[in-house]
Amino acid sequence: MACPFSHNASVELNPAILSLEWLLGAWESDRPGEGTFPSIKPFHYTEKLHFSHVGQPVINFMFNAFHAESNKPMHRECGFIRMQQGTNRVAFIIAQNSGLVEIEEGELTGQQLNLQTHKLDRISFAKEPHVKQICRVFKLLPDGRLEQTVSMATDNQPLTQHLHITYHRSS
């Protein structure tokens, strides 16, 4: 079952998430993103992102990554973004197809989100080594593209940049 997302143009954006309006819509990678980590072979991927709302004080999201050469589905994430009312504090609630469930919290500064793991859990039979921490930065670039950088720490690797990709708005 996919995490639902929809955007009804007739539904007003909830004022609690107005400062995140710049994320809304569909995004596609400009060119393949780069994935690296000390314990894996470097790889390239493409990705489609969808950020939407239904009038509630949350943004719904779905991320779908594909192998750059074969277009084979790879990683998927879906969840919700909430803001603490009256602040610039943001929370991402994320479920990943790898069996990882995570809450990332951080701050919104202008059109940049800086997030890091607040809570993390996984299915009992998750592949090792286990992810211990994720830091994620979303930034709207001056040319209108969206950039995402993800760093990760595991049981046996310190926090290291894992992913970097840029997107253009496709809707």
**Can you list the domains of the chain with their CATH numbers?**
15-169 (2.40.128.20)
Tell me the one-letter amino acid at 85.
Answer: Q
Q: Give the model's confidence band at 3: pLDDT under 50 very low, under 70 low, under 90 confident, else very high.
A: very low
Per residue in 62-119, pLDDT (tens digit) is: 999 999 999 999 999 999 999 999 999 999 999 999 999 999 999 999 999 999 999 9
Mean pLDDT of the chain: 94
The mean pLDDT of 148-168, rounded to a whole number, is 98
DSSP 2: P
Which own/partner contact pairs does 152-158 have at CB distance under 8 Å and 24+ positions apart? Answer: 152/37, 154/39, 154/129, 154/130, 155/128, 155/129, 155/130, 156/39, 156/129, 157/37, 157/38, 157/39, 157/129
